[in-house]
Structure 1
Amino acid sequence: MPAIKKEVTDLKRVFSEELTLNHGQQQSLHHEIKKRVESIIEDYQESGFTKQKMYSQIHKNLRRAFSAPKYIFVKRKDYQEALVWVKTWRPLL
């Protein structure tokens, strides 16, 4: 019985800490990134920002903030935090 409890505990840890976003969450995060860039691009065009530069920066910042090689590899446990992060993101000038 103790071995089964340990296995269950290990599986719970994997599910809560190691699983990355599911497809629906990936799509939702991608959509929020697009909405954010589109909503603020005009404010930054005078500073020399293009959409391409802004997308590059938001992806780079998101990867760094959530220690993920790509946004799709954000941990499932961090999904809500990542959505809030994207909605408040501003490019570095």
Structure 2
Amino acid sequence: MSQNRKVIGLAQANLPCSLGVATNKLVAKIATDVGKAARKTSTYPSAIQIVPPGQEAAFLPPLPAEMLWGVGPKTASRFAELGIHTIGDLAA
């Protein structure tokens, strides 16, 4: 918890930091990436993204399939050929 406060403090001071919080490591990593993307487009919100328990099914589907661990350029290209563009497409 102390580490989280440090990261939040850095974010509020406009210093580089990122934090993804979720019920598992995969969703937390994706949340961190989403937070970083938001950070690039504005000065606030900072790169802190929280996915509350039970909200994973709403958070993940609209995101690009490339955000999943292990999906690199070749897999993303193959997915596109198959009409799979989002995590939701992959889950369907």
**Normalization by structure 1: what TM-score?**
0.32
Bigger proportion of residues as strand: 2
Larger radius of gyration: 1
**Normalization by structure 2: what TM-score?**
0.32
